Amino acid sequence: MEKWLSFVAVIASFVTLLGFVGIFVKLGREKGESDATQKEMRRDIDSNAKDINNLGAKVNNMEVENAKLITTLSNDLIWIKDSLTKIDDKLSKKEGK
């Protein structure tokens, strides 16, 4: 009977040891997967940050270009208005004669 209890104790110790090893292996895998996921997310976040900064620069450039275009259009409209005023004045003078 004592041999049987020794055998059961050895088996129980071995199973307990295997349980601890299994837990540590599982924790190691999960930590590795978590680290890989974090690295991938960090790359994605950095890439998105660069894209956002690039978009901000593009928006600023577009605002400058739009300001130039509006100024040009405003000047053209002023010129057209002045030209129409001159034509109207000339027509008014001809009608008055």
Can you give the pLDDT at residue 75? 94
Can you give the pLDDT at residue 92? 86
Q: What is the mean pLDDT of the chain?
A: 92
pTM of the model: 0.54
User: How many Å apart are CA 55 and CA 63, to the nearest integer?
Assistant: 12
Can you give the pLDDT at residue 97? 60
Which amino acid is located at 68 in the chain?
K
Q: Which sequence spans correspond to the domains of the chain? A: 1-70
Query: What is residue 97's DSSP assignment?
Result: -
Tens digit of each residue's pLDDT (9 = 90 or more) over 46-75: 999 999 999 999 999 999 999 999 999 999
